[in-house]
Amino acid sequence: MSLPPFISRCAALFLAAGALPAPGAEAADGSVMYRCPGNDYKNTISAKDAERLGCKRIEGAPVTIMQMTKPRTAAPVPASAGSAARVDAVAQRARDSDARRILEAELKTEEDKLAVMQKEFNNGQPERQGNEKNYQKYLDRVEEMRAAIARKQTDIAALQREIKKLPPPQ
């Protein structure tokens, strides 16, 4: 069985570049490739060493070994830089105060919107609009209003939880 010309040329290029050992061939440096326990591949040991270590000779199997780079460790932080990374208490209190002010303003806005929505909802009996001659349209709008009010209440509860997480104002 012959291979298509393109694949034959690619295989020849890989063999020429040394990427794939030819079947039964030795490694590029003239030594034999061995697979040792723990999937450790070696081509720099003698046959006696391979036998002593319990390695098996690999014949005819293409082996590609990729050297992994060592993971970089974080550079140690100098003592002076570590203290600079901390925020002083005054700055943190200012940030907390700003966060509280922003969240409380947003809470007030959302509560005002909820009050308007509830007034328009009229305890589930909002006034019919001119385009709601079909009663189902009216019921659909009432249901949308009910869902919007529920979402607004959920948003308000979330804002209140966020405010409670902040330290008390000083």
Please compute the mean of the pLDDT values over residues 28-55 and round it to a whole number.
79
Residue 107 · residue 160 · CB < 8 Å: yes
Residues 6 or more apart whose Cβ sits within 8 Å of residue 64: 19, 20
- Predicted model pTM: 0.48
122 confidence band (pLDDT: 50, 70, 90): very high
8-22, 80-94, 97-111: range with lowest mean pLDDT? 8-22
Q: What is the DSSP letter of 35?
A: E
pLDDT value at residue 147: 96
Q: How far apart are CA 67 and CA 52, in angstroms?
A: 25
86 confidence band (pLDDT: 50, 70, 90): confident
Residue 169 · residue 100 · CB < 8 Å: yes
54: left (phi > 0), else alpha (psi -120 to 50), else beta? left
Three-class SS of residue 3?
coil
Q: How far apart are CA 151 and CA 154, in angstroms?
A: 5
pLDDT value at residue 100: 94
State pLDDT tens for residues 61-85.
Answer: 666 666 778 777 776 666 555 555 6
Residue 6 pLDDT exceeds 60: no
State pLDDT tens for residues 138-169.
Answer: 999 999 999 999 999 999 999 999 999 999 88
Q: How far apart are CA 58 and CA 79, in angstroms?
A: 53
pLDDT value at residue 165: 94
Q: Please provide the size of the chain in residues.
A: 170
Handedness of CA 116, 121, 127, 133 (dihedral sign): positive
Q: Which helix (H) or strand (E) holds 73?
A: none
36 confidence band (pLDDT: 50, 70, 90): confident
- Residue 35 CB: number of other CB atoms within 10 A? 16
pLDDT value at residue 19: 46
Please compute the mean of the pLDDT values over residues 99-124 and round it to a whole number.
95
- Mean pLDDT, the chain, as a whole number? 80
Please compute the mean of the pLDDT values over residues 103-114 and round it to a whole number.
96
pLDDT value at residue 22: 46
Closest to 142 in 3D by CA, of 132, 156, 151: 132
